[in-house]
Amino acid sequence: MNKKDFYVGLLFLLLTGAIIVLILRSPSTQDFSGPGPFFFPTVAAVLIGGLSLTLLVKSVKQTEAVSSPIQGKRIWGRTLWIIAWCAIYGATIEKLGYLLSTGMVTFALLAYFSRGKWVFNIVLSIATPILIYILFNTLLKVSMPKGFFGF
């Protein structure tokens, strides 16, 4: 059995079930000549369900091992560090302001991935938000959040 495909099929079957439950709970609005607003989501759900079921059945029949796209040793800590700082970035971008939050996130990532080079990391953590701010705010006229401190 191809376990990866089996679990993918199962996950999308569950998603199909969830979509159908949400559709059934929605108010009926068949008030014009064509199909209603939930017709297309239903078609999409049926397609997802049918295809995931096919994948599930196929995975049970498969015997060969499936290789991972990642070669060599995995370093999970790095993945988790990036995801955590992405979430922190989202949480702080409006509260701390663009410059401060971007500088903080840049430094946190550089400090982890480019350890020991403190001067380089600090210079880049200051320069990166300023450069991107100038690019977006000044050149492209896209307003960036100012936060508590007014910058």
Minimal distance, residue 36 CB to another protein, in Å: 7
Give the C-alpha separation, 129 to 137, whole Å: 11
Minimal distance, residue 87 CB to another protein, in Å: 6
Task: Dig out the tokens for 122 from the structure.
Answer: 């600090």
Residue 1 or 135 with smaller CB distance to another protein: 135
Residue 1 or 83 with smaller CB distance to another protein: 83
Minimal distance, residue 2 CB to another protein, in Å: 10
Ramachandran quadrant class, 150 (left: phi over 0; alpha: psi -120 to 50; beta: rest) = left
Residues near 148 by beta carbon (within 8 Å), at least 6 away in sequence: 95, 96, 97
Residue 58 or 118 with smaller CB distance to another protein: 58
Residue indicated by tokens 């959040």: 145
